[in-house]
Every structure is written in structure tokens, then in C-alpha cells.
Structure 1
Amino acid sequence: VKPVSKREESNYLQVNVECYGGGIWHTWFDRDLTLAGRVFFRKPNGKISRHFVHVKRPILRIPTIAIHLKRDTNEKLEINKQDHLQAVLALKIEEELNKSTKEKDTASDGNKKLNDESKKHHSQLLQLLASECNCQTDDIINFDLMLADTQPSCVGGLNNEFIYSGRLDNQMSSYCAIQGLINSLDTLPDETFIRGVLLYDNEETGSESAQGAMSEFTQHTLRRMTRDDYERSVSNSFLVSADMAHGVHPNYSSLHDRDHRPSLLNGGVVVKTNCCNRYA
């Protein structure tokens, strides 16, 4: 969700969003979407509080254009991210009614000052966030929200051999790494080395943020932990970069190198190499 999310078109209220990473954008159409993330608001004592929000019902949708308005949509799909991927929140009439009520309330209290956030975001959106945080709309200072699919992940297939879910890349490796640490607790008394897992953010946009894998965070953290022993500790360490490998798509198998491809899902760990040094 952009810093200024208020957007209107043809009597629809929309939420202005920015596309994150290299997504397959047409898969976002016609899904029951919601919002999740962080909301920052001021408490009665003046302190700023952070509240994690995940609205548990569909409140947004990016509708596909009807076929009779774009006959060639099955032959070619051209997506303008600025225009075609803006999510519909509500009809404008409801906000107009709420606006009239709020103007009356404001007029009756000459000392009341509207929060600047009300100029950036639809009032109904702020009201929803306020109810999730148990605060007043005027107390909301800012938020960091993303659109999310409300359809839950599940196990499927005839023999329950598939995981139907988004975000497998790379929550799968993250989960397995943490679970591996937990499962190995009983062997810790005999361990002479340090076991650890590093989970980074922003891999989908290049990993170059302050919390990404390309940052100095890991080096600085290890130096603070080991001090003079840093160089010796690193040289004696075994580091694994764990990510997901693309399985062969049965409908597009020709797009894979026939001699170098994961030929079987659930076939074990995949080791990826590249002569251009694209992998760690």
C-alpha cells in the first residue's frame, strides 16, 4: 500500500498499491484480498505503539475486465501496473455519507483537528484499521500494509502430496531451518560448534536493504559476537544458502533443460550451480 493510498475512479474507492518484486501479476486478479502488516498509532499517554494487523475477511479485489470489453484478452494480456492492479475497496456513496457525519462532528468541536492521514487514505480504511488496533482514527500516525490472499494454504492432491500455498519461496526453507534447530536440541550437550540460522528480508527485490542478505548485518553481528575470533570462526564455518528450486511444470516442461532439472517433486534436496556465479 502506497504512502498515499486514496484513489477514486468512476465512483469506486480504490487503494493505491505498488508491486513488490517480480510477481506474476495476472494471478492477483479476481482473488479475495485483505490487508496485513503494521499500524503505528499514538496512545492516550502520548507514546507511539505498533500493532500487527491481519484483517480476517475479504475487503479488496482486483477485478478482471469483462471479455466483451476486451475480446483479445485470451490471446494477449497486457497489464499496466499503475492502472490495472489497483484494488477496489468500496463504493463512494458510503464514504460520502460518513464524510457528511464527520464534518458535522468536527463543526461541533472547533478545537478538534483532523489527522493528516485522513487526507492520504480513505476514511473507511482508517476506521477499519482503528477498529483492529482498538484506537481512534485520529490516533493513527502511519502504517506499513500489504495486500494478501484470504484463501488459506492447504495440503492437496489425490494422495495429499502437494502443498497449495503462496510464499513457499522462501518460507519453506526458513521453516525447515528453524525446525531443524529445534529437532536437534537433544544433541546440544555434545556440540562443540555454534548452530545458527539467518533469516533475511527483501530477497525478492535484490536483498540489498538494511535487513537483506547483501547488507553488512551478518558480518557486523558476528564480529560483535566473536570479536577477535571472527576471521578464525568464519574460516572454520560451513555456510549454506538455502532457497527453493523450481520444479518441472508438466504443461511447460520444454522450458526446462531436459538434462538438468528437478525431475521429481519430493525427490530430495536440489543443489544448484551456475557458471555465472549467480548462486552462493
Structure 2
Amino acid sequence: MTAREHVRDLLDFIDASPSPWHAVATIEQRLQASQFQRIQESDSWSLVPGGRYYVIRDDSSIAAFAIGKQDLAETGFKILGAHTDSPSLRVKPQPVLDSDKLLRLAVEVYGGPILATFTDRDLSLAGRVAYQESDGRIASRLLRFDEPLLRLPNLAIHMNRGVNEDGLKLKKQAELPLIFSASVEQQLPADRFKQLLERASGIATEQILSWELNVYDTQKGAFWGDDQLFYADSQLDNLASCHAGLSALLDDNALNSGNTLVCAFFDHEEIGSESCKGAAGSFLPDVLERIANSIGNKPDDFRRALANSFMVSADMAHAYHPNFPSSYEPGHKVIVNQGPVIKVNVNHRYASECVSEATFIRICQQAEVPYQKYAHHGDLPCGSTIGPIASAKLGIRSVDVGSPMWAMHSLRESAGVLDHLYMIQALRGFFSSR
């Protein structure tokens, strides 16, 4: 596939995944198409060399793995970590606000989105509902409204004269509720909302008990620029890394390498990873230990496997923006379409250290892929990733990398077409290397 074809597939992947729950469902479909078998955490595992498996925790975190034919204790795991969630707005449990003949939905900020980018967009809802089945069991189901359902209109400049000088500032409690309908006197607002959920999910309103709903942009991803070497979509941070990792995992050379390969895609990175399915939880350690146990490794062999393992934490990187040169560290301006970025921070906000950096550089060199290095501006606080969290829990040497992008945490982010292919090629090389 060409670089453009890979990005076209990425845009389709993102457009099918308007929430972390949908992202895992999309990943699952692709895994099943490559003969990966779903196994349950509640079952006993019986894994075989050459087998392909995946396990899902609470609908929005997934670990896919291929069992290698080499001695696991000697060769270790090759792990790719990324995250399925993106900064967004989430619907509150009692969301309907009825005033001034309009219905609005109350929302809460999830993570650190650029709130101004949600204004004047064609927004809708996607997520999951929990409901009671006829036998009393609790189940969940995905739902999605494809059509624009919500809007956050800007205040006219005549009433906000300083917006172009001071920037758009939105009060999270009072100014974020989203308009979704006109008020109808004959109908209770709460009933109107539950009917919306019934329409999208196919579940009767009396069965619906709770929900988790993500606000998303209905505009599809697109190529842009005079030479079409850039692309834009929502959730590039971090579904682009998930797509690159999954594409590398499903490559024939990787699957036939004899290595034990793991792709772990976590929810809740944007809010700190402290959950049962986040990178700070037990999900990845549980999966790795059960793999080792199932193929007959002793406890000491599992520890040896961890000592011989390597993890690539893939999360998007800050591309240099020429309109704002003072925001970047001199000498560390990473450029779009110039290759994967190795992210370095001496306070270990990224997991990279000199040996793991060198390891990834060698991978790029062998794959004939260019690479770049990033350090954050000294006067600005640095973000973090799942890398330091997962690496600390497991004691595995790790490196933090990502493709450069603009407008991180905007509802409409941008990146370079060539970089996505470069990242896939580098990760293929990682999975296939001896």
C-alpha cells in the first residue's frame, strides 16, 4: 500500500470509531479478519505457539497478541502500547436542560480538549448504554447517532468584542451545554432523551439503566494541502498510533517472525490511566503473565521474559508550527513528513532513555525510515504518556515515540501523510526484528 492508501485506511478507521468503545470494536473486526481469536479473562487460557488471540476489558481497552515459536524467556515480549481515548466532552447522567423553549445537554470535560474547537461544528453522540435483559442480567451495547444532533453556537462578535484579541474562553459549567432540540410542552425532557437512546440502540427505554456518551465531530477525515500531503480528522491523538500499531502487528513478516507480539490499547490515558482498564491498572501485567503461564513458563521464566522484553509507547508528537516559533525548544523542532519522533524528557514524563532511544534509532535505520528527536520547551509543562506508567509497573525497557502533528487536542487535528507510513514501517521492523 502507498502512503496515501494507508492514510485513507486510517481515516476510515477513525470515522468508524467515534468513541473509545467503538475504537475497540473496529480493532476487533480487523483482528478477526486476520484470524485472531477472542478469549475471555474469566476463562482458563490454553494458548499455543503460533496462535493469535485478543482480550477486551470493559469494552474500551484491548490487548491483541501473537504467540511466538521462540523461547519466551530468552526472547521476551515485543510490546506496542497506545491509547483509545481522546479529549472530548461527555454527557452528564442527568443531562437535559429545559429553558427558553430550547433543550440542551449538560456535558463534562474529559481530559484536556481545546474547547473553542467544539464551537460551530456539526456534533453528535456515540458511546454505549447499559441495560437490563429479560433474564435480569446487565449488558451493554454500542450506539451512535450518525446525523448532526448537537451544536455549540459561538457568541456573536458584537457581544464578545475582545474575542480576537483575548481568545475564546468558555465557562465549563454555564457555556458548554449543547443545543439539541426545541422544547415541547407535552413531553418531559428526560423522556425525550431516553427516546433518543432507544432510537439509536434499539433497546426499550424502560430497560436502559445508564450510559457513557462521547461528543464527536461528524465531519469525516480529509486530505488537504496543494500536494495533498497532509490530512485532518478528529482523534488523531491517539487513534493514528493505534492504527499504525495494528497495521504493523497484522503484517505477515511480523506474524511469521517467531516473536511473541503484543499490542495493548488502553482507555483513560487522557485522564491519568488510573482505572481497572488504564495503563496504570493490572490489564497488561495480567495479560503478559497469563501468556507466560499458559505456554508452560515457570514464574522465574516470566521474570526473565520481562527482562528481555521491549516496549514502544506510541503517542502523537508536537510538530513545529512556524506561526508560533517561541513555543518550541530550539534544536528540537520536529517537522511534519520527516519521520517518527523519539520523545525525550529528563524528568521521565516520557519513558525514553539513551539505550531505548538507540534501540529505536537502529530499528528506523534498518527499516530505512527517517527519525527525529523532541524535547519540550523548558518554560512549559510537559505532557506524558502511558510509557512511564506501564514501564514502571513491568520493569520493561521502553521508548516513547509518535508521529508529528498539529493542533493536538483540537476537535480537528492535522498530520503528514508520509509520517503515517514511516511509523508503520518502523513498527513492522520492531515486531519483526530478532
Scaled by the length of structure 2, the TM-score of the pair is 0.56
Q: Match of 1:143?
A: 211
Q: Distance in 2 between matches of 1:57 and 1:44?
A: 30
In structure 1, the residue corresponding to 2:261 is in which secondary structure? coil
Which residue of 1 is the match for residue 325 of structure 2?
253
Matched letter for residue 163 of structure 2:
T
Between Structure 1 and Structure 2, how many residues are aligned?
254
Partners in 2 of 1:273 and 1:190 — Cα distance? Answer: 30
Question: C-alpha separation between the residues in 2 aligned to 1:124 and 1:3?
Answer: 14
1:53 & 1:134 partners in 2: Cα distance? 9
Secondary structure of 1:239's aligned partner:
strand
* Aligned with 2:158 (options 47, 68, 81): 68
Where in structure 2 are the equivalents of 1:68-217 lying within 5 Å? 68-76=158-166, 77-92=168-183, 94=184, 96-99=185-188, 122-183=190-251, 185-186=252-253, 188-191=255-258, 193-217=259-283
Q: State whether structure 2 residue 315 is matched by structure 1 residue 226.
A: no
Select the residue among 348, 369, 376 that pairs with 1:277. 348
Report the more deviating stretch, 14-23 or 244-253.
244-253
Does the 8 A contact of 2:126 with 2:145 survive in 1? yes
C-alpha distance in 2, partners of 1:85/1:190? 50
Q: Which residue matches 1:112?
A: none
Tell me the distance in 2 between the aligned counterparts of 1:91 and 1:181: 48
Which deviations, in whole Å up to 9, do the C-alpha atoms of 1:80-111 show, x marking residues without a partner? 1111111111111x2x2334xxxxxxxxxxxx
The CA deviation at 1:11 is 2.4
- In 2 relative to 1, CA 45–66 (structure 1 residues): closer, same or farther, beyond 3 Å? same
| Per-residue Cα deviation, 1:62-92 (whole angstroms, up to 9, x for no partner) | 1111222222222223321111111111111
Query: For the Cα contact (< 8 Å) 2:116–2:169, is it kept in 1?
Result: no
Partner residue in 1 for 2:124: 34
Runs of 4+ in 1 over 6 A off after TM superposition: none
> Which structure ranks higher in relative contact order (CA pairs < 8 Å, sequence separation ≥ 6)?
2
Amino acid at match of 1:260: H
Whichever structure has more strand as a proportion of its residues is 2
The residue type paired with residue 79 of structure 1 is L
Q: TM-score, normalised by structure 1?
A: 0.85
Q: Tell me the alpha carbon deviations over residues 215-247 of structure 1, each in whole angstroms, 9 at most, x when there is no partner.
A: 222222222222412210011111111111111
User: Aligned equivalents of 1:136 and 1:219: distance in 2?
Assistant: 39
SS of alignment partner, residue 98 of structure 1: coil
Distance 1:196 1:139, change over 3 A: same
Q: Deviations over 1:175-221 (max 9, x none)?
A: 111100111x2454451x30111111111111222211122222222
Q: Displacement, 1:272? A: 1.2
> How far, CA to CA, are the matches of 1:241 and 1:251 in structure 2?
29
**AA partner of residue 23 (structure 1):** P
1:271 maps to amino acid: I
> How far apart, in 1, do the equivalents of 2:214 and 2:257 lie?
44
- 1:25 aligned partner, one-letter code: L
Q: Paired residue for 1:113?
A: none
Are positions 1:12 and 2:102 aligned together? yes
**Identity %, equivalent residues:** 36
Contact 2:131 2:140 in 1 (8 A): yes
How far apart, CA to CA, are the structure 2 residues paired with 1:164 and 1:128?
Answer: 30
Equivalent position of 1:241 in the other structure: 313
Q: Indicate how the Cα distance of structure 1 residues 238 and 91 shifts in structure 2: closer, same or farther if over 3 A, else same.
A: same
Distance 1:190 1:248, change over 3 A: closer
SS in 2 for 1:57: coil
How many angstroms does 1:252 deviate by? Answer: 1.3
Structure 2 spans left out of the alignment, 5+ residues: 1-90, 294-298, 352-434
- Shift of residue 60 of structure 1? 0.7
Write the distance in 2 (CA, Å) between the matches of 1:268 and 1:181. Answer: 19
Q: How far is 1:47 from its partner?
A: 4.2
AA aligned opposite 1:2? K
Distance in 1, matches of 2:325 and 2:208, equals 50
Q: Which whole-Å deviations, capped at 9, do the CAs of 1:154-194 have from their partners, x for residues lacking one? A: 122222211111111111111111100111x2454451x30
Residue aligned with 2:239, SS: helix
Q: Greater CA radius of gyration, 1 or 2?
A: 1
Question: Tell me, what secondary structure is at the counterpart of 1:275?
Answer: coil
